[in-house]
Amino acid sequence: MMSMLGVDLPQKMALAVSGGGDSMALLYLAADWARLWQVDLSVVTIDHQLRRESGAEAALVKAVSQDLGLTHTTLLWQGWNGQGNLPDAARRARLDLINGWRREIQYVLMGHTLDDQAETFLMRLRRGSGVDGLSGIAPVHLVTVSENDNLSASSSGLHASGSLHVLRPLLAVSRANLRAHLTKIGASWVDDPSNQDDHYERVRMRQFMPDLEAVGLYQKGLADTAKRLRRARTALSRRAVAVAEQIAHQDDGDVVFDLEALGEIEEETQLRLLAAALCWVSSNAYRPRLTVLENALQAALVGKNGALHGGLIRVHGTQLRITREYQAVRDTRHIVGNRGFWDGRWQITGPKIDGTEIRPLGPEGVQQIGTAWQNRPNYAIILSKPGIFRDNQLIACQSAGFGPAYEQQIQPSSFTSLLIEH
């Protein structure tokens, strides 16, 4: 823990506890640590309300927390619509709810283990991931506002202050050892039946682990490999940042590369730059699949336009521009004057006009500023820029130099900040 935090310990921290063996073990261990170092530790449980037992499990965590002298809060997730990837949706919900609840707390502990690290490595290996994916779960992870597509105004700065850091101090500890510790101290935990449901990829990897151990591939070895790849990832990311400072710049929410200079660098750095640019303009938490990204890069280097990951890839002369795809934001709305971000990253302030909202300029907005735009090479680019509308009337669009001045800020402010994450 101390290696993650340094010598200046925060006064307050939080601990996310589900009631499962991993997080319950962390609860007991962290309570002792916090008492020793005089850190104010708060416990939070996310009740996803996906099983009838979830309420009782949250109550168990509350009772244990109170016995340990810790405050406890249960947050309810009501956003699951039955569509998409449930584990990913649940992960995003946890971050969103915790970020909205945490206020001045900037560090949240989570109970990921050696087993989780090994399972993650295998899952990503099966998908054909590169260095980034195979580096596994990071011990310390900085969560940015753009990381969750569903971050609400209340969880993107209305109550929270400072960045959110997720710490995982148990990544080198096995699940079996944690449960042995709980048994030794007479503590209870809950076994979620979904952890045995082989419809989930992680469960299948878990069930496959004994076969790997039979041929000498143990969890620790897989986790150690992930750790070494994480070192390589850090070095590659730093190289990408240095290159970006030389051949890329930001322009009105877009990333613009010197195409010739981009073509002269090594492919690994090219891919990192393109992935980070796409994630930045689209507010995507994850980079595109590697094979798809490789194909898009090769097309761009020979002058072909494309669309990927909610972004447009546009070649114009000596420049390669990455911008937002209009179709990805055409229905995105945000009331002028409300706190928070339009499209996950644009924060616009200025003269408040009742009944106005932020939405993409689109073809209708372009017509109001002059049809000459329709014949310009950057027509596809301007479509996705934020405009201020009242009903169907365009009030202002800074990108087009139309209407009164509004202040536009982007979060995160720097494209290069995402190179460390992507």
| 372 pLDDT higher than 80 | no
Burial of 237 (0-12, 13-18, 19+ CB in 10 A): buried
284-289 CB contacts, 8 Å cutoff, 24+ apart? 284/149, 284/309, 284/310, 285/92, 285/146, 285/147, 285/148, 285/149, 287/132, 287/422, 289/127
Strand runs labelled E in 188-279: 248-251, 254-258
More confident residue, 87 or 344: 344
Reply yes or no on whether the pLDDT at 285 is more than 70: yes
Crossing angle for the helix pair 201-214 and 114-126, nearest 10 degrees? 100
What is the per-residue pLDDT for 93?
85
Top-confidence residue, 180 or 154:
180
Confirm whether pTM is higher than 0.75: yes
pLDDT single digits (tens) 34-92: 999 999 999 999 998 877 888 899 999 999 999 999 999 999 988 666 666 777 888 88
Find the mean pLDDT for residues 198-225: 94
User: Pick the residue with more confidence: 78 or 216?
Assistant: 216
| pLDDT over threshold 80, residue 3 | no
Q: Which two tokens stand for residue 295?
A: 């194909």
- 420 pLDDT band, cuts 50/70/90, is confident
Q: What is the DSSP secondary structure assignment for residue 299, as one 8-state letter?
A: H
> Mean per-residue pLDDT for 288-295?
94
Give CA separation, 355 vs 252, 358, 362, 392, 396, in Å: 26, 10, 19, 11, 14
381-407 mean pLDDT: 91
pLDDT for 136 equals: 95
Over residues 89-105, mean pLDDT: 89
Q: What percent of the chain has pLDDT over 70?
A: 91
Q: Class of 2-217 per CATH?
A: alpha beta
Of the two residues 285 and 145, the one the predictor is more confident about is 285
- Per-residue pLDDT for 117 more than 90? yes
Q: What is the pLDDT confidence band of residue 147, given thresholds at 50, 70 and 90?
A: very low
**148-185 burial string, b = 16+ CB within 10 Å, else e?**
beebeeebbbeebeeebbbbbbbbebbbeebbebbeee
Mean pLDDT of the chain: 89
Confidence of residue 226 (pLDDT cuts 50, 70, 90): very high
What pLDDT shows up at residue 375? 66
Domain(s) labelled CATH 3.40.50.620 in the chain stretch across 2-217
**Cβ contact 344:146 at 8 Å:** yes
Give the pLDDT of residue 408: 87
User: Which tokens sit at 300?
Assistant: 């761009």
* Out of 82-96, 129-143, 229-243, 390-404, least confident range: 82-96
